[in-house]
Amino acid sequence: MKLVKNDFLSRFRQVLTYRSDVRIRLGIEPERIQPGKPQQNGSHERMHWTLKQETASPPAGSLRRQQECFDTFREEYNRERPHEALKMSTPAEHYQPSERPYPRQLPEPEYAGCEVRLVYDGGNFRFGSKKVFVSHALAGEKIGLEPLRLDGERYWKVRFMKHELGVLDQSRSKLWTPAQWDKRQAEGKDDR
């Protein structure tokens, strides 16, 4: 399994980000850093700092000129500038195309033993007569729901393919993220 490290994203209230659905369908799982710990993704944060300093401080006077700044930066950053983390070589010297071919058609999600719901354009899915927000990134995708416990159907585990999105509290029409749900369980806030 391949991983892509991402910011925690709690401030966006989204479980997934744009194109996460495609990555997950290709078997690439998102890996979240802890909230307030940008050092866990230090090299990525450093690249963004450098990008901002060299291309947007101050910003260019037009969108065309700004894009030119980004294009120049990308070329220099990847092909000319040596990187200490790469023992003073460039990223281009280490790049190798993937040996895994990109499929003509992405695999369809399968949800054996689950109730299946379609996520609509607004990032919501229907559960009973109510709408529940999951993520704009999943618009047009199918998700799976399975009862969390055998003693009732108030709580439902929600997932996209093998990726757990959270737990749906049917009585509140609220989707708790995995981190929120774990915290609630640790604090004994099960509301049974």
pLDDT digits (tens, 9 = 90+) for 29-40: 777 777 777 777
In whole angstroms, give the CA distance from residue 141 to residue 133.
13
Length of the chain: 192
Q: What is the largest CA-CA distance in the chain?
A: 62
Show the domains of the chain with their CATH numbers.
2-94 (3.30.420.10), 115-186 (no CATH)
Condensed to tens digits (0 to 9), the pLDDT of residues 144-167 reads 999 887 556 789 999 998 888 899
Backbone conformation region of residue 65, classed left if phi is above 0, alpha if psi is from -120 to 50, else beta: alpha
In whole angstroms, give the CA distance from residue 89 to residue 67.
26
H/E stretch holding 115 reads: strand 115-118
In whole angstroms, give the CA distance from residue 14 to residue 135.
5
Question: pTM of the prediction?
Answer: 0.66
Condensed to tens digits (0 to 9), the pLDDT of residues 106-140 reads 888 889 989 999 999 999 999 988 999 998 889 99
